[in-house]
Amino acid sequence: MGISERIKKLLDYKGVTPYTVSINTRISQATLSRILKNSTAKPSMGTIELLAKYFGTTPDWILTGRGEMIQEQADVASTHNRIRYWVDVDATAGGVTLFDDQVTTKYIDLDIPEFRDCTDAVNLYGDSMLPLYKSGQIIILKEWMESFIDYGNVYLVITKKGNRMVKYLRKGSDAQHVLCVSENKDFDPFEIEKDDILRLYLVKGGISKNTL
C-alpha cells in the first residue's frame, strides 16, 4: 500500500471528500488530486504534516504505514479547540489583493477559550474596516460551511479569481451578486458575483499581536 492508498483509506475512515480536506487544510484540490491519482507521487513534507494533523494520524503512518492509523482519541481531541494562526497569510481590509494559494505550514497553535468554535487566524492589513478592525491586528476566523450567506456579518472572502478581502456582506442588486461594504466610509461599496466566491470565513473577532 502506497501513500495514495493510505490517504484514500483515511478519506474512507473519516467519510470526507478531497474537497472537504482541501478547504480545511489549505492544500489545493489540484495537489490532492495529483496525490490520489498517482500511486508513486511523493508529496512534500509540509503537505504530509497538514494531512496528518487533519486526519489525526502521524506523518510516518502516511509515508510508511508504520504504527496505528489513528492516534488515541485523547491526543486527537487535544487539537480540536486550537486555532491555527497562519503567520505568513494576510487578509486585506482595503482594496482587493491577490490570494497566495500555495501550501504553507507556517502556523502557530493558539488556545483562546473565547473563540473555541473558531479554526483559523490571519493577519489583517488595510484601513477599510476601521475602527472595527485595525491594520496589523490578527483576525479570528470560523469557516462558513452553510449553503447560504448570513448577510450583515463581516467575512473574509476568497474568490475563485484568487482575490481576498474582509468586508460586510449584504444583498446585491440581484440574486447573482453580493454587496461588499467597508466599515470605513471612505471606501466605496462594490459588488461581486456570488458564484465567484470560493470560500467564506466569518470574522469572529480580532486581537493585537502584542497581546500574544
Phi, then psi, of 65 in degrees rounded to 5: 85, 0
The b/e string for 63-94 (b: 16+ C-beta within 10 A; e otherwise) is beeeeeeebeeeeeeeeeebbbbbeebebbbb
Q: Is the pLDDT of residue 81 over 90?
A: no
Phi, then psi, of 22 in degrees rounded to 5: -60, -45
The 10s digit of each residue's pLDDT in 15-61 is 888 888 887 787 888 889 999 998 787 888 889 998 998 888 999 99
- Distance between CA atoms of residues 171 and 163, nearest Å: 20
**Beta-bridge partner residues of 124:** 91
Please work out, in degrees rounded to the nearest 5, the angle formed at the alpha carbon of residue 59 by the alpha carbons of 8 and 105. Answer: 100
**Could you tell me the CA-to-CA distances from 58 to 127, 128, 150 in Å, in that order?**
41, 42, 37
State the cell numbers at 78: 487535544
What mean pLDDT value characterizes the chain? 84
Preceding peptide of 189 cis, ω within 30°:
no
The 10s digit of each residue's pLDDT in 186-202 is 999 999 999 999 889 99
Is 200:143 a contact under the CB 8 Å cutoff? yes
**Over pLDDT 90: what percentage of the chain?**
42
SS3 54: helix
Please work out, in degrees rounded to the nearest 5, the angle formed at the alpha carbon of residue 151 by the alpha carbons of 118 and 176. Answer: 120
Residues with Cβ within 8 Å of residue 15, at least 6 apart in sequence: none
Q: What is the pTM of this model?
A: 0.61
